[in-house]
Each structure stands twice: as structure tokens, then as C-alpha cells.
Structure 1
Amino acid sequence: MTKTCLLMLCLVTTAGIAWGQSADTIYHGGEIVTIDDKNPTAEAVAIKGSKIIAVGKTAEVLRLKDDNTKLIHLGGRCLLPGFVDGHGHVFNCGLQAVSANLLPPPDHTVKDIPSLQAELKKWAATETSKKFKIILGFGYDDAQLKEQRHPTRHDLDEVSKDLPVYCIHQSGHLGACNTKALEIAGISAESKNPTGGVIRREMDGKTPDGVLEETIHLTALMKVMPKMGEAELDGLAQAGMKMYAAHGYTMAEEGRSIELIDKSWMRLAEKGKLLIDVISYPDISFSEKPFGLDTPWYAKNLKGGYRIAGVKISLDGSPQGKTAFLTQPYFMPPHGQPASFRGYPAMPVEDANRKIALCYEKGWQFLVHCNGDAAGDMMLGAIKDARAKFGPGNDRRDVMIHCQTVREDQLDLMKECGVIPSMFGMHCFYWGDWHRDSVLGAERAERISPARSALRRDMIFSQHHDAPVALPNAIRILSSVVTRRTRSGDILGASQCIPVEVALKSLTIWPAYHHYEEINRGSIEVGKLADFVVLDKNPHKVPILSLSDLKVKETIKDGKTIYVAE
């Protein structure tokens, strides 16, 4: 045994206390849920600098106190490890934060097209709208609008005919724009549907109605959005981090980055201005030379709180937007589509095969967006081919993002290939009724985001919010995956409910694992980062139907408070 190992054994006891040093801060007087199977609860936690140095009984931990130690009494509240983002888009949360809020209840008040128009008109009077000469809204959901349809260009022309009006659907996969925005984007009756995208048309079958799907939505949005300088872009990134911190997250994922987004994170990291840690996955759906992977930012360790970890591939769209790629038809096809409509892939199979093979060849970790099970077949087929050619690789932790309609046979293959599910169980609340009644029908809807099926296979999985698709609300995720209760109060697939203990792991240590970060975060253990969230109550000790009422009272990053509830 080396001298270093002997020294560590002398410093750390089985109670989880590093002797020989004094604490900067000690937390006590509340309930501490560690997410550490060896010591699941504790009475006190001590930190020094940015690291945890003691976890255990109050009397023992207080032995690390000196005259300079700050004692923080939790007042009976509950301390947990900071939430780790299973999948989200933190930069775009900043865009959401500065746009007109078009979310339906309970997150906002847009219930119909007149209230949507009113929010847009109100936002048009802001300095942001006047400065950038655009009216931008985020978060409308046709499934929740009284009219049960998307706003059209005619609806949005009533907001403005002079300025471009662009509304981003809550899924992020569709957008609705006015006539002016269509003109700026160069979309007309003569425009063809691009690969992986659809321009929805009026009754004549030619004239765009203002609703754009998938790739054409993204292309149009980039053309309509105003040019922003570094200060504005960095401001969006900072606004996104603040939103995450307010919900208890201490690490965020940039789940589909492009060059200007990663440059923003690099600037902020170099200046030491990251509020929370950020891990990025540049998009290779449109290019196989992703920005940043040839820089020092592509690394195993964070630099200034940021690093590039791998790449992102998108193979289909959104089930609630009815653009996900399914093996069986939609229960109720979208307007203008036949009863056999199954959605469509975001790229040809051969492109998916080539991109995933490249990831195996280069050793890149990859995340793949698969909402529909047909998209899942594309991903898993490409992985089988890549493994046959390049071998299984060393400690690969590739992730299937969303897994909403993943089948039992696909979970078997994912476990065999080491693919980690990152599930969107939050959908049970937000769109469960819509899935049951319109998207999938009752039988298939019962199995959306089948976490219990993964648990039965002893698979590690994460749960995510995909913000800004939904707010980065870990409490809403926790409630949704434990109860699977919909907006209407229905329970959608009781056999897929998971226990609170497992749900908390899927928000902390398991997403840390799929980011290769489990040594640094995800549980309260000696040597890990002092990243915590303080809740008003212990999730283990409230009725499960009250989980959604839990409140984030404080978020602590590297031992420093970064958010306190008003």
C-alpha cells in the first residue's frame, strides 16, 4: 500500500469524516438525503472550499469546527445533492426567459389564441422587441389551446404585419410565424419541403399557413432572428443558468449546441462567470465536423465550469407535435395526413449509420434524440453495425434521449450495448392526456417513458425536462415519474411508476454517471463537490400526491449560495 493510501485511511473514517482539517461551513439542523447507498441519510455535512469533508452525525461533524467555521442551521428543511441535468438546453432557456411567455397553465396563462395574441402584443411594447425589431414568443402548445390547433399566419398578422412574429412551440420542434416572417425566411407557395421538415399549407395545398415543422422551422428561425453581439448572447446564457439555479440545478446540459452557443460558454468560462457547471454536446446532425472537438474544451475535466463532452444527433421530432418517427401510425394523424401517417425521420438511415460509426471511430460519446420507436430502431441498428466494425469501445456511455415510445425489446438491446436511457417522464403530466386521446391512443400511451421497465433490467437511467420544452423543474419531474398523474388527474401507466428513492437517483447520481461526472457530484459524500439543493420538506416524508408542492428554498454551488427563494 502506498504512503498516499495510508494517509487517506488515516484521514477518513467509516463515518465519512476527513480529520486533520477544519470546516469552512457546517450544515446541520435538518434532514440530509445523501443519495449514497452506503450512508443514505446524515445529520450534518461539513465543507471546506468547494469540497465536502464530512458527512455524518452532528456531534462528530462538529469536531471539525473552529472559530472561523460558519454554522448553518437548516431549520428542519431537507438538504440533497444539487440536481444534475439529464438533458436540456440551458442557453435556449435564456432565450425563453427574454421572450413572450406563451406557456399554458400551470406555468403561465395562455389558454387560447386571443390570449396568445395578447401576450405577443404586450411583449411588442418591450425594449427588447423595439431594439431587435421582432416579436418573439416561446412555449405555445396547440394541445392546450382551446382551439386545439396551431396559430396561423393570419392569427399572427393580427399581432403585426410590419414586424416578423415568430412563436416557438413548447416542444421546440415547430414554430408558427406571420406573413412577414415567412417573407424574411424566403418561404413561399413555391418552396419545397426539405429533408426532415414540413411546411404546412392552406386549403389550396400550396400557400404556407405559417406553421413550420422540424428542419424548416430551425432554418426559418435562424433567418428571422436578429443578429446579436457577444454581450447579448452571453446575457442569454446567463439568464438560462439563473433559471436552472432557481430550480435546484448545479450542472446543466447544453444538449444540442452550435458554434455561437459554445463560443458564449467559452467566453463566460474563461472569465469565471459561470453560475453553474455546463456540459455541452455540439450537434452533428447537419455537419460531421462539430465545432469545439479540436479545442482544449473537449476534455474529461471541466475548465472554468465548462467542457465539451461529446456530440448530439437528432433522428426524429416531437410526439406531441406529431413529428416523432413511429413504427405504428398516430392514433389521430395531423391535419392533412393519411391514417397511415407515422411521422418521419430527421435524416436518412444511411446518414444515421455514418454519423454513429464516426462516433465509434473517433471515440466520441454521443446523445441521440429518439422520441419514436422507429427512430430508436435507427439508432440501435447503427450501433450494432458500428460495434461490429469498431468493437464495443472502452466505457462507452452513449445515451438515447427521450425514449418516449421505446419498446421492451429495444431496452434489452440498449442494455446489451450499454446505451443509457434518458427519459422524459415529465410528459406524463404535461402531455399524458394528449398522448392518450390524440397521439398514441390509450394502450401505447400507458408505456411512454417506461422507467419501471428499465429499472426491472437494473439499468441506470436519467429523467429530464428538456428545457425550455418544459421549465427546468426537477420537482415536477419527481412528481410526474412517481405518480404518472396527468393534468386531468388520470394515472397514465401505473405499472411504470417508480419509487421516490429511484426518482431522486435519476435526477442526481445517474445523470452524473452518464456525463462521466459521478466521481465529482450526484451524491453527498466526502471528496465530492459541495453542490446542494435545499427543499422545504423531505421528499421521502410527504404523501406522493404532494410531491409537486415541494419548494426549492436554496441552491448551493461549490459551497456558495447561488439562489435563495424569496
Structure 2
Amino acid sequence: MSDTCAAATPLSRDRLAPAIAAAGAAITPAHYGAPAESGERSAPTAKADLLVVGRIATGDPAAPRAEAMAVRDGRIVALGSTADLDGLTGPATTVLSPDGVVIPGLIEPHAHIWVSLLTLEWTDVSHAVCPRFDDVVTVLKAAAHATPAGQYVLAKLFDPSLYPGEPALTRDILDRVATDRPVIVLNASMHFAYANSAALDAAGITDATPQPSGGTLDKRDGRLTGVVGESPAVTMLLANLPRPTAAEVGRGIRHVLNEFAGAGVTSMREAMTGTLAGVSEIAMLHQLNGAERLPVRVSTAQFSSLAGCATPAEVAQAWKAAGVTPFSGDAMVRADAWKIVADGSNQGRSGYFLQPYLGETSGGHANWTPESLREVMRAGLDDGWQLMIHTNGDAAVEFALQAAEELLPGRDALRHRFEHASVTTDDQLARMAAVGVSPSFLMDHVYYWGAAFRDTILGPARAARLGRLASALRAGLRPSLHSDYNVTTVQPLRSARTAVLRRLEADGTVLAPEERVSAAEALAAITADAAWQIHADDRGALTAGRRADFAVVDADPWTSDPESWDRIAVNATYIDGVPAFTA
């Protein structure tokens, strides 16, 4: 569990870019599965090639239940009773009678593949795994015991903001974990790392080492504390770690996507593509999919800043020259959006707010000037991209909204999005609806960080305006929920549960009960409405004409108590009626 929208740090680029760049720049879609256009479908008299029989929760309010679903060429042709579908089957029809409930494949509309690969196999010391600070040390000791002598003990997702007093993992603490091997822990933001004495020695960092430009080696009374800050210093610390090969990166991508499929996800949006290796990231996804179909459909959001490009217009031209244009690719890997990051992390106090953070004089900052924000938005709009704009603080929402109100009239059909829209006002939600921008909420902000926002970061009044799904719906918006993986783990049903309950992990209290939504509204935000946001109208519900993307689970979320949603087990997922994941 991290604390900010995953960003491509120089550290990530240094470790991963060479392996990804090995994929080259040739984009070769594999064109697996059902055709994209209805006109390409088989003749209406053809028999179904798959019949799914059992308990089916369609996600369609007009016909929420069915006992049979006929699929031909990867698309649903009919639902109803088994008797209703008798005429659609023949000797060649495969009958699937799954053990569980069939539900629409869940949609993850904002997650990160590439920057999650750096620490994929590192030990998790997030607050979810280590609810007390002492638990962090305990988990690290267990990891050290399991690590062969001389090898690094590596851990990730340490988040001091969720512990009383925001403690650091100092060198003295980590020396209690191990002295005979290097121990390194990355902060959840990846802007800080924590090292024991052996790790400092292995990196050649001593009390006399000069401060790197743009980075910090923290000292107390001239002695290194083991806390290093920002990419130049963190990169020094990790300089001796081996870099992955292209094959290892490929296996990592499949590992990540299998995690998604294991949570019932059949489609996801990679929310910052190109930050490590430009077009090679898309080339690699297509190559992997060509070798063996990916377990999840991937929609990509092209980053609006690329190495070697001086202006947004140059970035747009670079994507276009590589053949990456809106909706290019195929049904498994498709380029869909233009990503802009307007501010930073609220937990890291770099989100942009109208008033200062508690106990501070600063309310964070924007990443753009008003003029440059409009320039980067125009670059995407002029090429026909859907805009995805990261906006965490209420000032960032206002900043981006004013630009949208100027630029979007007449260009609102692309379902432009504000990512996180973490803290908003009623006026802002109404104006978003008027200008054609929909929000995607990181509902785990409420669950994991709600108490910290309320008590130490923002205060009760602003914390009550966090993740306002109910208010967004009242304003006529069509919002979605996302994980921002690996900011939090991919568990759409947990996010939906939080949207219904708004109960905080820290103390069990309810944050802003007026923002609670119905079960149906929460489930729509991880199915049909999330699919709509990523321009996947052929998914998100099980109805005739849509793709046969579905999951098999052990309980029906549409009829079960939301309290239990996070415990619903996923037995399998299917894409175009073909197995993609089996538990």
C-alpha cells in the first residue's frame, strides 16, 4: 500500500528501462478474441459455441438474474432460462456449469503496471500488513531470517504517516534486524529509503559522503541516520542491485495482471504509460499478448511527458509517429487516454489545497502553471485523446476545472476524467458535470487514510469531503472506483464495500455518513460505470451484444451483505468466454 499515485522516479527508470527498451518500438497487435465491431460478428443463425448455466448476476438492473448465457465468437447472444436458450445450442456447443456465481468482469480503471515492477518481489511492510510500527520490525526480522547470508533484505511500502508520530526506520532500528547483510526499506512514496549499516557500507556511503545534488543523506551530529531522501540518494543506495532482464520484466507483468484477474478484474487501465521507456512499454505489452494472451485486457493512458521531448506538442507527435493514436491497438491492448499529473500526494503533503495542511503554512503546490496546464491539455485534445488529470487536493481540482471549462466545450464526448478528485466541493462537482468531466475515486483513501486525514493532515471538515461518491452521483456524474495499484492492492469489492460503509480501518468510525451509497451504486462504480469511463461500453454488464467477460465468485455481491464483499473469493475469470484465470 503506497501513499501517492504511482510515479516514475529516476530510480525506476534506471532499474527497469533497459529491459523494457529491449522490446523495441514495433507495435504488433495480436487481435485475439471477439471482433471489435458488431458488423464483423457471425451470422445470427449460427449456434452458440458456449453455454454458461448456473447462477448468473448480470449487473443489468433491467434483468438482474439469469440461469443461462449463450456466447458466440466471444460475445453474449442471449440470456434467460435454459429453456429460453434451447434453440441456440447444438452438438458443438460447450456447456460450462461453474461452481459459484457468474458476475460481470470487474473493471479497474486506474492502476500502474510499470512502476510496480521495481519492488514486485520485495517484502511488504505496508500498514495493511503491519498495523503497528513494531510489526514492521518483526516482519523484517522474519525476512532477514529467510534471506541467504550476504543477500539484500528488501522491503517496500513503509508508510510512516499511518503510525503515531510518523516514525522513521533509522539505521539503528534496522541494525537490530540484521548486521550481516544489507537491509533496505523503501518508503511507500518511493521518495525515501531506509538502510542499515551494512547497506550503507555496500553502497560506499559514509559519514563523509557529500550530499548528492537533489538528494539527502540524513545525519544527526554528523552520523548517518540511515534515512536517505529523493531519487539521487536512493539510487546511490540501490546502485549494486541487479537489473532485471526483459524476460523477468515480462514475467513480472504477467504476475501483476494475474493478481488483477485473481480479484475478478477482466479489464484495467494502465494509468501512466511511457514514463520508463516510452513506446517500448506498449510494444512489450503487445509482444507478451502475442506470445500468450494476457490474463486481463489493458487500456493505456499515454503520459504527457517523455524523455527527450521538450514540449507537450513534441510528446504528442512522438506518440503519433510511433503509431500510438486514440483507440489504436486491439481488444486486449488498446491506447485510450492522455495522462496529466496536476499535483502530488495528500499524505505526502504535496497535494494542492486551498488552505494549508494542519500545522503547516503550505497547502502544497501545482505541478503546472495555468498556461502550461492548458498547453499540455490542448496537446492531448488536439489529437483526440481522452484526458486523465490527476487531481488530489481541492485547489488542484479547481486549477484543472478552470482549464477544462475553457478548453472542453465542444470536446466533451471523450468522457474526460479527474483522477482521485480526492477532496472536492459541491460547486466543483456541479461544474464537472456541466463541462463533461467524471471523477474516479481512490476509495481506499477513505478506508486506510481517513483517520490520518481527519486527525493530522487535513482536519475533520476537509476529511469529510474525501471520496464523495454520493455527492458525485447527486450531481449527475458517472464516477468509478480504483485502487491506484500499487498504492493499494487491487480489490474492487473492498473499494465498493467502503463506498457503502465508509468505515475507517483505524478506529471503525464512519467518515461523512452522508457520502454512503447504495450497494447497487457502489457495484456500478466497479463494473458498468468504470467500463464507460475507459470507453469499454461492450463490457461491465452481462447483456446481449456485450463481450463475454465474466468472473465466477463464491457469493453474489448484488444480493449479499456489503460487509462481506471483501471476503468474496474469485474462482475464475473469463475473457471472451475463454478462461483467463483459475484459482
Rate the CA distance shift 1:302–1:262 in 2: closer, same or farther, 3 A. Answer: closer
C-alpha displacement of 1:559: 0.9
Q: Does 1:545 align with 2:563?
A: yes
Q: Does 1:280 align with 2:307?
A: no
Q: Does 1:68 align with 2:92?
A: yes
Q: Within 5 A, what are the aligned runs for 1:333-372?
A: 333=359, 339-372=360-393
Deviation per CA, 1:432-483: give whole Å up to 9, x if none.
2222221222222122110111100121111001111111111211111111
Check the 8 A contact 1:100/1:119 in 2, yes or no. no
Q: What's the counterpart of residue 285 of structure 2?
A: 265
Query: The residue matched to 1:150 in structure 2 has which SS?
Result: coil
C-alpha displacement of 1:42: 2.1
Q: Does 1:510 align with 2:525?
A: no
Deviation per CA, 1:102-129: give whole Å up to 9, x if none.
2333589975442353255357539xx9
**d(CA) in 1 for partners of 2:92 and 2:499?**
43
Deviation per CA, 1:135-169: give whole Å up to 9, x if none.
54222222444763232455456667898755343
Check the 8 A contact 1:46/1:52 in 2, yes or no. yes
Check the 8 A contact 1:165/1:180 in 2, yes or no. no
C-alpha displacement of 1:303: 2.3
Q: What's the counterpart of residue 494 of structure 1?
A: 513
Q: What's the counterpart of residue 176 of structure 1?
A: 193
**d(CA) in 2 for partners of 1:217 and 1:402?**
29
**d(CA) in 2 for partners of 1:426 and 1:208?**
32
Check the 8 A contact 2:140/2:155 in 1, yes or no. no
**d(CA) in 1 for partners of 2:130 and 2:172?**
26
Q: Any gaps of 5 or more consecutive residues in structure 2? A: 1-37
- Could you tell me which amino acid in structure 2 is paired with residue 104 of structure 1? H
Check the 8 A contact 2:203/2:237 in 1, yes or no. no
Q: What's the counterpart of residue 429 of structure 1?
A: 447
**Percent identity of the aligned residues?**
25
C-alpha displacement of 1:486: 1.0
Check the 8 A contact 2:103/2:550 in 1, yes or no. yes
- Could you tell me which amino acid in structure 1 is paired with residue 301 of structure 2? Y
Check the 8 A contact 2:168/2:227 in 1, yes or no. no
**d(CA) in 2 for partners of 1:469 and 1:148?**
18
Q: What's the counterpart of residue 378 of structure 1?
A: 399
Aligned length: 529
Q: What's the counterpart of residue 521 of structure 1?
A: 539
Rate the CA distance shift 1:349–1:271 in 2: closer, same or farther, 3 A. Answer: same
Query: The residue matched to 1:528 in structure 2 has which SS?
Result: coil
- Could you tell me which amino acid in structure 2 is paired with residue 559 of structure 1? G
Deviation per CA, 1:197-236: give whole Å up to 9, x if none.
x8585567998863536x7799879978643322122111
**d(CA) in 2 for partners of 1:224 and 1:254?**
29
Q: Does 1:295 align with 2:319?
A: no
Which deviates the most, 527-536 or 391-400? Answer: 391-400
Q: Within 5 A, what are the aligned runs for 1:463-474?
A: 463-474=481-492
C-alpha displacement of 1:239: 1.0
C-alpha displacement of 1:563: 2.2
**d(CA) in 2 for partners of 1:217 and 1:283?**
25
Q: What's the counterpart of residue 36 of structure 1?
A: 60
C-alpha displacement of 1:189: 5.8
Rate the CA distance shift 1:51–1:168 in 2: closer, same or farther, 3 A. Answer: farther
Query: The residue matched to 1:319 in structure 2 has which SS?
Result: coil
**d(CA) in 1 for partners of 2:303 and 2:178?**
34
Task: Give the counterpart of 2:341 among 293, 314, 317.
Answer: 314
Rate the CA distance shift 1:301–1:119 in 2: closer, same or farther, 3 A. Answer: farther
Rate the CA distance shift 1:183–1:304 in 2: closer, same or farther, 3 A. Answer: farther
Check the 8 A contact 1:36/1:524 in 2, yes or no. yes
C-alpha displacement of 1:101: 1.8
Q: What's the counterpart of residue 111 of structure 2?
A: 88
Rate the CA distance shift 1:377–1:152 in 2: closer, same or farther, 3 A. Answer: farther
Check the 8 A contact 1:91/1:240 in 2, yes or no. no
- Could you tell me which amino acid in structure 1 is paired with residue 266 of structure 2? T
Higher relative contact order (CA 8 A, sep 6+): 2
**d(CA) in 1 for partners of 2:138 and 2:163?**
10
Q: Any gaps of 5 or more consecutive residues in structure 1? A: 1-7, 13-17, 334-338
Deviation per CA, 1:364-406: give whole Å up to 9, x if none.
222111111122222223323434xxx5326232211111112
Query: The residue matched to 2:523 in structure 1 has which SS?
Result: helix
- Could you tell me which amino acid in structure 1 is paired with residue 281 of structure 2? I
**d(CA) in 2 for partners of 1:329 and 1:217?**
29
Query: The residue matched to 1:115 in structure 2 has which SS?
Result: helix
Check the 8 A contact 2:269/2:534 in 1, yes or no. no
Check the 8 A contact 1:521/1:529 in 2, yes or no. yes
Q: What's the counterpart of residue 26 of structure 1?
A: 51
C-alpha displacement of 1:72: 2.6
Check the 8 A contact 1:484/1:497 in 2, yes or no. yes
C-alpha displacement of 1:91: 3.7
TM-score, L = length of structure 1: 0.83
Q: Does 1:212 align with 2:229?
A: yes
- Could you tell me which amino acid in structure 2 is paired with residue 81 of structure 1? P
**d(CA) in 2 for partners of 1:385 and 1:183?**
53
Query: The residue matched to 1:60 in structure 2 has which SS?
Result: coil
Q: What's the counterpart of residue 354 of structure 2?
A: 327
Q: Within 5 A, what are the aligned runs for 1:86-125?
A: 86-105=109-128, 112-118=135-141, 121-122=144-145, 124-125=147-148
**d(CA) in 2 for partners of 1:446 and 1:227?**
44
**d(CA) in 1 for partners of 2:117 and 2:524?**
27
C-alpha displacement of 1:46: 1.4
TM-score, L = length of structure 2: 0.80
Which deviates the most, 495-504 or 86-95? Answer: 86-95
Q: Within 5 A, what are the aligned runs for 1:222-241?
A: 226-241=242-257
Check the 8 A contact 2:500/2:562 in 1, yes or no. yes
**d(CA) in 2 for partners of 1:562 and 1:405?**
37
Rate the CA distance shift 1:284–1:140 in 2: closer, same or farther, 3 A. Answer: same
**d(CA) in 2 for partners of 1:553 and 1:39?**
24
**d(CA) in 2 for partners of 1:309 and 1:525?**
24
**d(CA) in 1 for partners of 2:516 and 2:226?**
40
Check the 8 A contact 1:357/1:382 in 2, yes or no. no
**d(CA) in 1 for partners of 2:404 and 2:217?**
34
Deviation per CA, 1:160-200: give whole Å up to 9, x if none.
78987553434x4543243469878xx9764565xxxx858
